[in-house]
Amino acid sequence: MPGEARIGEYMPKSLMIYPQDVRQAGQVEFKPIPVNQYQRTLSAELDHFASEDLIRIHRDMAVIRTFETMLNDVKTKGNFHGVEYNHRGPAHLSIGQEASAVGQAFLLGIEDHIFGSHRSHGEILAKGLSAIEKLSDQALMKIMEGFFGGATLRVVEKGATGSVKELAVDYLLYGTLAEIFGREAGFNKGMGGSMHAFFTPFGVYPNNAIVGGSSDISVGAALYKKINKQPGIVICNIGDASAGCGPTWEALCFATMDQFKTLWDESHRGGLPLIMNFVNNFYGMGGQPVGETMGFGILARLGAGLTPDQMHAERVDGYNPLAVIDAISRKRDLIAAGDGPVLLDTVTYRFSGHSPSDAMSYRDKKEVEAWQQQDSLITYGASLLEAGLVSQDDLDGTHSHIDELIFKAYKKAIDLDISPRADLYAIGSLLEQTMYSNGSVDKFETTGAAPELAQPIAENARVKQIAKLARFGLDDAGKSLPATRAVSIKDAIFESVLHRFTVDPSLVAYGEENRDWGGAFGVYRGLTEALPYHRLFNSPISEAAIAGTAVGYGLEGGRALVELMYCDFLGRAGDEIFNQLSKWQSMSGGVLKMPVVMRVSVGSKYGAQHSQDWTALTAHIPGLKVVFPATPYDAKGLLNAALQGTDPVIYFESQRLYNQVEVFHEGGVPAGYYEIEIGKPDIKRPGKDLTILTIGATLYRALEAAEVLEAKYGISAEVIDARSIVPFDYSLVVESVKKTGKILLASDACERGSILQTFASKISQFAFNYLDAPPVVLGARNWITPADEVEDSFFPFQSEFLDTIHEHIVRLPGYEINRRTDTPELMRRSEKGI
Ligand SMILES: Cc1ncc(C[n+]2csc(CCOP(=O)(O)OP(=O)(O)O)c2C)c(N)n1
Ligand SMILES: [Mg+2]
């Protein structure tokens, strides 16, 4: 294999690609993929399992069956055992799939984390019951007392007389059900609901209503465990139909990167501790992957193309809990030996439709009946009988006991007095508190680790080079220095990142070309020497996985700094940013933190697909913080704040400004640490006649326009740099408008739907009585970014500022319009959609 001899030098440069190697004739060999190889009977396993464990497997399957049958009754009949309840939310049931969930959970400890899908009630209960079995009474009480200050425990302990383990089972059933019914005592305070419920103290991590949504998040969780040497494995439970999702492929590619086994240092070398488990029930909603919507035939085949070891892919009979236990046991050993990740195709079947409203028009009754005849709950119970471990009375007794437990949990969960909903109408409500965690945390704890640096900071070439630069960007004559002589935005970002690496041992940074290249724009140049491979690495060209893994890394308890190069690529990571990064803090009821900073840049010169300012997209999504600094002082201070925080921050940069030096802040960019509070705009040029509020690089064009306004028209413009977009404190801008009575808002984003339209409408509302003219938004044209040579036709430059001010805000005596921007012209464009 090319480069093999040089493994250990930890540099891609050492991975030599020689023509004599790669042009050689040959063929690719595949190995057989095991399919349902486990064939032992329960009786044959009596030597390997304690009989209580074998019996408990049946109990756990029966708990899930009864729990979901109850939900099915509620959805279809409006009651359970005659007690009525109208559950308006969803319930995607897994009736029939119980053996796969219980078999999987059997060997797992609470340090093993599972992620799931919209259909994960069974996995929550199976993993929870397994955890209850393994934890001591003391540990269980500590968890139940500690979680939400014991609020959920208070409900179940009332009237409880049994053992701690029995109490814990009640707790699990009630906490899950209260969550499904949207009650504040639920495991996520009712903010997750049926499709998203989870309980981290038992190792049950977020379940995801986006098909395939857990795939890259799980990879990030496994990455966190690997980098920070945390115990346990991660299992991603996703459906067979999610094999067609782009992010699932990106997750698989990210998870199987060679570098884990080649370039990472010895103590971190080895594959990710991850099992990508496809819960294969042969259906999407109405589409059938095998025979219709996919072409793999046997899902396990997918592993074959991903790595030479074929991801140790295997099809497992998920209708037999013992077969699943066997598979998890063997795969866990492989992972412990550094041979992960693993792909499993766990065959199962659900008798329930996609949801209780599913008319099942797409499948034949005969097929369902054939699976029901082999119902794993019944056949497994029969094998217990056959082995003489239980009597029929025992089995019947178990069923009626479980039924009682679930009825008890049901009655408590539907009662609004016992289980109220969170009050979201009050000021300071749960969602006000949990949309952001607003923490300030120097470092996240990892197992006793100090920050890992590859060299003393003082020896770093980039650090030495920056030390020679002026911290302020103007010379004595007030002339701007070039970036070769003063600290630029690039340097400011580098300093902030390097500082955090010296403070936070959990920090990881990655993205495309992040390591040797130093990031596509050289911002990280020097970091390669400063950091070991596992703290700074190149990812595949998998934007969804870059974002999704950062989500998993963050919610596991580490801080991640990822980069998407151009913000135009946000679409490739749409779900991960819009539905995952932004939402898990609040959907968890405040259980999770999301200390993830995502750097994206706004380009120019590269045409339509590399030059867009998409701040509006990210600002529109509740749960993200969004900043866009335009000066080195602000860039460092805001990145410091973002990297000290516990919330997801989308950090916009302008490629036009990477070499911009500090021309505003007296004393320049401090060499030491400081923060700039996210959400506060800043006056960059004081004035009294007109306010100009800018986002990003338009700041400098606004300043040029302000010079002309002053010199030619005697108009004193106050230029305010928004710096932050979400959150945003309007006070400074409103104060300015009270003084000037006029405001122009400018950015490089296309004008239609720009976040500045929101700013403008809010300012109209907040400062209505002080305005002499309506706030006016100046953006880029509502068309594609053309080639660099003609980009003046697109972005707002100095003359567009003056045109717009003259036409819509205040007449400039003698001014001659450069390009038409009058109201009829704007209306004409709008009519045309341009
Ligand atoms: C990205 C996305 N596309 C579509 C849906 C709608 N949807 C919900 S479940 C489902 C089918 C999922 O099938 P599979 O992954 O096999 O899981 P199963 O429902 O069989 O457990 C679809 C299409 C969704 N939730 N997310
Ligand atoms: Mg399916």
* Cβ of 116 less than 6 Å from ligand 1: no
Would residue 312 show up in a list of annotated catalytic residues for this protein?
no
Q: State the closest ligand 1 atom to the C-alpha of 209, by its place in the atom list counted from 1.
A: 25
Indicate if the alpha-carbon torsion angle 807, 809, 814, 815 is positive or negative. Answer: negative
CA 121 to chain centre: 22
Measured in Å, residue 247 CA sits from the centre of ligand 1 at 14
Q: State the closest ligand 1 atom to the C-alpha of 284, by its place in the atom list counted from 1.
A: 13
Q: How far is residue 514's CA from residue 767's CA, in Å, rounded to a whole number?
A: 45
Measured in Å, residue 289 CA sits from the centre of ligand 2 at 8
Measured in Å, residue 98 CA sits from the centre of ligand 1 at 19
pLDDT class of 447 with cuts at 50, 70, 90: low
By DSSP bridging, strand 649-654 and strand 596-602 are parallel
Q: State the closest ligand 1 atom to the C-alpha of 242, by its place in the atom list counted from 1.
A: 15
Mean pLDDT of the region 171-180? 98
Ligand index nearest the alpha carbon of residue 93: 1
* Sheet of strand 342-347, all strands in order from the earlier edge strand to the far edge: 204-207, 113-116, 234-239, 274-280, 342-347, 314-317
Strand, helix or coil at 625?
A: strand
Q: State the closest ligand 1 atom to the C-alpha of 279, by its place in the atom list counted from 1.
A: 21
* Cβ of 345 less than 6 Å from ligand 1: no
pLDDT class of 6 with cuts at 50, 70, 90: very low
In order of 217, 396, 771, 786, the CA distances from 548 in angstroms are 5, 45, 44, 32
Q: State the closest ligand 1 atom to the C-alpha of 210, by its place in the atom list counted from 1.
A: 26
Q: What is the DSSP string of 103-128?
A: HHHTT--TTSEEEE-TT-HHHHHHHH
Measured in Å, residue 284 CA sits from the centre of ligand 2 at 4
**Buried/exposed code over 24-45 (b: 16+ C-beta within 10 A; e: otherwise):** eeeeeeeeebeeeebeeebeee
**Buried/exposed code over 395-413 (b: 16+ C-beta within 10 A; e: otherwise):** beebbeebbebbebbbebb
What pLDDT was estimated at residue 10?
58
Q: How far is residue 152's CA from residue 420's CA, in Å, rounded to a whole number?
A: 12
What pLDDT was estimated at residue 4?
40
Measured in Å, residue 354 CA sits from the centre of ligand 2 at 9
pLDDT at 376 over 80: yes
Residue bearing the CA closest to ligand 1, atom 15: 239
Amino acid making up residue 294: M
* Cβ of 550 less than 6 Å from ligand 1: no
Q: How far is residue 16's CA from residue 363's CA, in Å, rounded to a whole number?
A: 53
pLDDT at 354 over 90: no
Q: State the closest ligand 1 atom to the C-alpha of 211, by its place in the atom list counted from 1.
A: 26
Phi (first) and psi of residue 572, to 5 degrees: -70, -20
Q: How far is residue 271's CA from residue 310's CA, in Å, rounded to a whole number?
A: 13
Ligand index nearest the alpha carbon of residue 94: 1
Ligand index nearest the alpha carbon of residue 96: 1
In order of 316, 749, 782, 831, the CA distances from 753 in angstroms are 50, 9, 10, 15
Q: How far is residue 41's CA from residue 707's CA, in Å, rounded to a whole number?
A: 86
Residue bearing the CA closest to ligand 1, atom 5: 211
Mean pLDDT of the region 178-184? 98
What pLDDT was estimated at residue 449?
76
Strand, helix or coil at 85?
A: coil
Measured in Å, residue 735 CA sits from the centre of ligand 2 at 57
Structure tokens given for 103 = 């078999």
Taking each helix axis as running N to C, give the angle between helix 51-77 and helix 121-134, from 0 to 180 degrees, rounded to the nearest 10: 150
Measured in Å, residue 211 CA sits from the centre of ligand 1 at 5
**Which residues, 6+ apart, have CB-to-CB distance to 420 below 8 Å?**
183, 184
pTM, 2 dp: 0.97
200 closest CA partner among 552, 444, 544, 530: 552
Mean pLDDT of the region 708-737? 98
- Predicted confidence (pLDDT) per residue in 36-64, tens digit: 999 999 999 999 999 999 999 999 999 99
Tell me the β-bridge partners of 236: 115, 276
Please tell me whether the peptide bond between 341 and the residue prior to it is cis, using omega within 30 degrees of 0.
yes
Q: State the closest ligand 1 atom to the C-alpha of 354, by its place in the atom list counted from 1.
A: 19
Amino acid making up residue 776: V
Amino acid making up residue 833: G
Measured in Å, residue 413 CA sits from the centre of ligand 2 at 29
Q: State the closest ligand 1 atom to the C-alpha of 239, by its place in the atom list counted from 1.
A: 15
pLDDT at 26 over 50: yes
pLDDT class of 355 with cuts at 50, 70, 90: confident
Residue bearing the CA closest to ligand 1, atom 23: 285
Strand, helix or coil at 324?
A: helix
Of all residues in the chain, the percent with pLDDT exceeding 70 is: 98
Q: How far is residue 666's CA from residue 668's CA, in Å, rounded to a whole number?
A: 5
- Predicted confidence (pLDDT) per residue in 666-702, tens digit: 999 999 999 999 999 999 999 999 999 999 999 999 9
Whether the Cβ atoms of residue 276 and residue 316 lie closer than 8 Å to each other = no
**Which residues, 6+ apart, have CB-to-CB distance to 193 below 8 Å?**
89, 90, 179, 180, 182
- Side-chain-side CA neighbours of 680 within 13 Å: the count stands at 10
What pLDDT was estimated at residue 789?
93
247 closest CA partner among 520, 551, 535: 551
Tell me the β-bridge partners of 237: 277
Q: How far is residue 389's CA from residue 141's CA, in Å, rounded to a whole number?
A: 31
Q: How far apart are the first and last CA of the chain?
A: 54
Element (H, E) at 691: strand 690-694
Mean pLDDT of the region 647-675? 97
In order of 64, 214, 373, 379, the CA distances from 395 in angstroms are 15, 36, 18, 12
Mean pLDDT of the region 217-243? 98
Phi (first) and psi of residue 146, to 5 degrees: -80, -30
Residue 696 Ramachandran class (φ > 0 left, ψ -120 to 50 alpha, else beta): left
Q: Which of 87, 312, 534, 610 is the catalytic position?
A: 610
* Cβ of 119 less than 6 Å from ligand 1: yes
Q: How far is residue 654's CA from residue 652's CA, in Å, rounded to a whole number?
A: 7
pLDDT at 9 over 60: no
Q: How far is residue 512's CA from residue 305's CA, in Å, rounded to a whole number?
A: 23
By DSSP bridging, strand 717-721 and strand 690-694 are parallel
In order of 453, 462, 469, 494, the CA distances from 465 in angstroms are 19, 5, 7, 12
- Three-state SS string across 152-194, please? HHHHHHCCCCCCHHHHHHHHHHHHHHHHHCCCCCCCCCCCCCC
pLDDT class of 448 with cuts at 50, 70, 90: low
What pLDDT was estimated at residue 359?
84
Taking each helix axis as running N to C, give the angle between helix 392-414 and helix 376-386, from 0 to 180 degrees, rounded to the nearest 10: 140
Residue bearing the CA closest to ligand 1, atom 6: 211
Q: State the closest ligand 1 atom to the C-alpha of 118, by its place in the atom list counted from 1.
A: 9
Burial class (CB in 10 A: 0-12, 13-18, 19+), 134: middle
pLDDT at 283 over 70: yes
Residue bearing the CA closest to ligand 1, atom 18: 239
**Length, in residues, of the chain:** 834
Identify the residue whose tokens are 């300030």: 440
4 closest CA partner among 14, 13, 22: 14
CA 711 to chain centre: 50
Structure tokens given for 309 = 């070891």
Ligand index nearest the alpha carbon of residue 354: 1
* Cβ of 80 less than 6 Å from ligand 1: no
Q: How far is residue 663's CA from residue 355's CA, in Å, rounded to a whole number?
A: 60
- Predicted confidence (pLDDT) per residue in 384-400, tens digit: 999 999 999 999 999 99
* Cβ of 93 less than 6 Å from ligand 1: no
What pLDDT was estimated at residue 541?
98
What pLDDT was estimated at residue 353?
86
- Mean pLDDT of all residues belonging to the chain: 96
- Identify which of 283, 285, 290 to mutate to test ligand 1's pocket (most ligand atoms within 8 A of the CB): 285
pLDDT class of 15 with cuts at 50, 70, 90: confident
* Cβ of 176 less than 6 Å from ligand 1: no
Measured in Å, residue 238 CA sits from the centre of ligand 2 at 8
Q: Within 10 Å of residue 217's Cβ, how many Cβ atoms?
A: 33
In order of 429, 584, 646, the CA distances from 435 in angstroms are 10, 9, 11
- Predicted confidence (pLDDT) per residue in 116-150, tens digit: 999 999 999 999 999 999 999 999 999 999 999 99
Structure tokens given for 18 = 């020689």
* Cβ of 671 less than 6 Å from ligand 1: no
Element (H, E) at 631: none
Whether the Cβ atoms of residue 618 and residue 626 lie closer than 8 Å to each other = yes
- Identify which of 68, 97, 115, 118 to mutate to test ligand 1's pocket (most ligand atoms within 8 A of the CB): 118
Residue bearing the CA closest to ligand 1, atom 14: 239
Measured in Å, residue 31 CA sits from the centre of ligand 2 at 26
Ligand index nearest the alpha carbon of residue 243: 1
Q: State the closest ligand 1 atom to the C-alpha of 238, by its place in the atom list counted from 1.
A: 15
Ligand index nearest the alpha carbon of residue 211: 1
Measured in Å, residue 328 CA sits from the centre of ligand 2 at 20
Residue bearing the CA closest to ligand 1, atom 12: 284
* Cβ of 334 less than 6 Å from ligand 1: no
* Cβ of 164 less than 6 Å from ligand 1: no
- Predicted confidence (pLDDT) per residue in 527-575, tens digit: 999 999 999 999 999 999 999 999 999 999 999 999 999 999 999 999 9
Q: What is the DSSP letter of 807?
A: I
pLDDT class of 8 with cuts at 50, 70, 90: very low
Mean pLDDT of the region 68-90? 97
Residue bearing the CA closest to ligand 1, atom 3: 211
- Identify which of 100, 194, 211, 347 to mutate to test ligand 1's pocket (most ligand atoms within 8 A of the CB): 211
Helix, strand, coil % in the chain, rounded to nearest 5: 45, 10, 45
- Predicted confidence (pLDDT) per residue in 201-229, tens digit: 999 999 999 999 999 999 999 999 999 99
Whether the Cβ atoms of residue 439 and residue 629 lie closer than 8 Å to each other = no
Residue bearing the CA closest to ligand 1, atom 13: 284
- Predicted confidence (pLDDT) per residue in 489-499, tens digit: 999 999 999 99
CA 46 to chain centre: 43
Structure tokens given for 313 = 């892919």
Residue bearing the CA closest to ligand 1, atom 17: 239
Q: How far is residue 400's CA from residue 410's CA, in Å, rounded to a whole number?
A: 15
Structure tokens given for 400 = 């009626």
By DSSP bridging, strand 234-239 and strand 314-317 are unpaired
* Cβ of 287 less than 6 Å from ligand 1: no
* Cβ of 118 less than 6 Å from ligand 1: yes
